[in-house]
C-alpha cells in the first residue's frame, strides 16, 4: 500500500505544527521521520493513522483519498514507545486480541487464530513465551510482542512512534536490526518516528528530515548524509565544524564552510587549504579518539575524530602533544551561504 501526503497543514493555535507537507511513500518501503523534539513527526504520523485530522491537504492510501476516513477503516497497525500490552492477558492472547474482537462475519475461526498467533510468535522469536504475562518479559521482548500484535491483523501500513525509545542502548540496537530483517521478510509499508539519526540511518530505506513543521530533505540515508540540502540537515545528521567567513587559505568568503570531524587530516606543514591550529586536548571513547584543536586565526575550536589506532600512529609520527602547533587539512568541505 503506497501512502501519499499532499499539502498537509495542521495547526495547534497559531503554531503550524505541520506546514504544507508533501511526501510519497511507495508500497513496501520503510521510511523514517527524523527530526528534533517538536518538529511535527508524531503529528504527521497521527494524521497518516487517522488519529488526527488535518486543517487542509490530504492523505492518500494507494491513490484513494483517506484524509477523513475512520482509523478502523485504514488497515494500519501501530506500535508506540510505551508498550500498551494488556497486563492481565497472556502473550498469545495479547497477539490474538485484534482478531478476536472482529465482528463474527470477518473473525477467523479459533483454530485459524491459534495458527496465526503461533506463526507470529515464531516471527518475533518468542515461541517459548506464549503463556507468560507481559510483566514476565523484558522491555525488548514486550516491544516485539507489541509488533506481533500490530501485525496480527495483517495491516497494509505499519506505523511506529519511537518504538524503541524506552529501551537501553544495547537492546535498541538489536531491535533495530531485527526490525530491518522483519521488514525485509514482510514488506509492509512502514513509517517510523525517531529523533535518533543513527537509528534512522541504520533501519530506513528513506529518511525524511523534519524541522519546525517542514520537511527539510528526504532521500536514501547515504544521499541525505553525503549531500545535505541545508545546514540544518548537515548538523542534525552528525557532528560538524563550522568555519565562518574565511576559507583555509585565509581568503574572505561569504559562505560558511562545514567539515565533519572525521574528514580532517592532521598534517605537519601548511598547504594551500589547511588551517593552522594548536592541539588543546584529546579524549578517547571506545574505538575513537576525539582531538580538540584551537585555530590560530580566530581562536575557535575544531574537533577531529580518528580511529584510536590512527590517532596513535599520527601522534607518534608527528610528535603530537598538548600545545603543539600543526595544520588541519579537510578531505571534504560542504559550503552554504552564510545566513543573512
Ligand X SMILES: Nc1ncnc2c1ncn2[C@@H]1O[C@H](COP(=O)(O)OP(=O)(O)OP(=O)(O)O)[C@@H](O)[C@H]1O
- Residues of this chain that interact with ligand X (CB under 6 A) are 12, 17, 35, 37-43, 193, 195
Q: Which three cell numbers stand for residue 27?
A: 508500497
- 235 CB-side CA count, 13 A: 12
User: CA–CA separation, 156 vs 175, rounded Å?
Assistant: 22
H or E element that contains 151: helix 139-152
Q: Residues 6 or more apart from 265 whose CB is under 8 A from it?
A: 328, 329, 330, 331
Within 10 angstroms of residue 216's Cβ, the number of other Cβ atoms is 21
Residue 43: CB minimum distance to ligand X, A: 3
Q: Which is nearer to ligand X, 39 or 217 (CB)?
A: 39
SS3 (DSSP) at 33: strand
Residue 58: CB minimum distance to ligand X, A: 19
Q: Which is nearer to ligand X, 200 or 259 (CB)?
A: 200
Residue showing cell 498469545: 92
Q: Which is nearer to ligand X, 42 or 241 (CB)?
A: 42
Residue 56: CB minimum distance to ligand X, A: 17
Residue 143: CB minimum distance to ligand X, A: 17
User: CA–CA separation, 285 vs 262, rounded Å?
Assistant: 14
CB 33 within 8 A of CB 210: yes
Residue 193: CB minimum distance to ligand X, A: 6
Instruction: Using the Cα atoms of residue 78, residue 193, residue 67 and residue 220 in order, give the sign of their dihedral.
Output: negative
CB 8 within 8 A of CB 54: yes
Angstrom CA distances, 85 to 21, 80, 142, 143, 251, stand at 32, 11, 8, 9, 61
Angstrom CA distances, 100 to 80, 103, 124, 132, 149, stand at 21, 8, 20, 19, 12
Residue 140: CB minimum distance to ligand X, A: 21
Q: Which residues pair with 11 in a beta bridge?
A: 16
Residue 35: CB minimum distance to ligand X, A: 5
Q: What b/e sequence results for 163-173 when a residue is b if at least 16 CB atoms lie within 10 Å of its CB, and e otherwise?
A: bbbbbeeebbe
Q: Which is nearer to ligand X, 12 or 86 (CB)?
A: 12
User: CA–CA separation, 93 vs 133, rounded Å?
Assistant: 9
- 311 CB-side CA count, 13 A: 21
Residue 230: CB minimum distance to ligand X, A: 17
Q: Which three cell numbers stand for residue 261?
A: 570531524
Q: Which is nearer to ligand X, 57 or 108 (CB)?
A: 57
Residue 22: CB minimum distance to ligand X, A: 17
Q: Which three cell numbers stand for residue 316?
A: 607518534
Q: Which is nearer to ligand X, 214 or 290 (CB)?
A: 214
Amino acid at each position: 500500500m503506497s501512502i501519499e501526503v499532499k499539502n498537509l497543514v495542521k495547526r495547534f493555535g497559531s503554531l503550524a505544527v505541520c506546514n504544507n507537507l508533501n511526501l510519497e511513500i511507495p508500497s513496501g518501503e520503510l521510511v523514517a521521520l527524523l527530526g528534533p523534539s517538536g518538529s511535527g513527526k508524531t503529528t504527521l504520523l497521527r494524521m497518516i493513522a487517522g488519529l488526527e485530522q488535518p486543517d487542509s491537504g490530504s492523505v492518500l492510501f494507494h491513490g484513494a483519498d483517506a484524509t477523513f476516513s475512520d482509523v478502523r477503516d485504514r488497515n494500519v497497525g501501530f506500535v508506540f514507545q510505551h508498550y500498551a500490552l494488556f497486563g492481565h492477558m497472556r502473550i498469545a492472547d495479547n497477539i490474538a486480541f485484534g482478531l478476536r474482537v472482529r465482528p463474527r462475519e470477518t473473525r477467523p475461526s479459533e483454530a485459524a487464530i491459534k495458527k496465526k498467533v503461533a506463526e507470529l510468535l515464531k516471527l518475533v522469536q518468542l515461541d517459548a513465551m506464549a503463556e507468560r504475562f507481559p510483566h514476565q518479559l523484558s522491555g525488548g521482548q514486550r516491544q516485539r510482542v507489541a509488533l506481533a500484535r500490530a501485525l496480527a491483523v495483517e495491516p497494509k501500513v505499519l506505523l511506529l512512534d519511537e518504538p524503541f525509545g524506552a529501551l537501553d542502548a544495547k537492546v535498541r540496537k538489536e531491535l533495530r536490526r531485527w526490525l530491518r530483517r522483519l521488514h525485509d521478510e514482510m514488506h509492509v509499508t512502514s513509517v517510523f518516528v525517531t529523533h535518533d539519526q543513527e537509528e534512522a540511518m541504520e533501519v530506513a530505506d528513506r529518511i525524511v528530515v523534519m524541522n519546525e513543521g517542514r520537511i527539510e530533505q528526504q532521500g536514501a540515508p547515504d544521499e541525505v548524509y553525503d549531500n545535505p540540502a541545508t545546514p540544518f540537515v548537515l548538523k542534525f545528521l552528525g557532528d560538524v565544524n563550522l568555519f565562518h567567513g574565511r576559507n583555509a587559505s585565509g581568503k574572505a568568503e561569504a559562505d560558511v564552510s562545514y567539515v565533519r570531524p572525521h574528514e580532517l587530516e592532521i598534517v605537519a606543514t601548511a598547504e594551500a587549504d589547511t588551517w593552522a591550529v594548536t592541539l588543546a586536548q584529546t579524549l578517547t571513547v571506545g574505538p575513537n579518539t576525539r582531538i580538540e584543536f584551537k585555530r590560530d586565526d580566530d581562536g575557535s575550536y575544531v574537533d577531529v575524530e580518528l580511529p584510536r589506532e590512527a590517532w596513535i600512529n599520527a601522534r607518534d609520527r608527528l610528535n603530537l602533544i598538548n600545545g603543539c602547533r600543526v595544520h588541519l587539512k579537510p578531505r571534504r568541505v560542504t559550503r552554504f551561504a552564510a545566513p543573512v
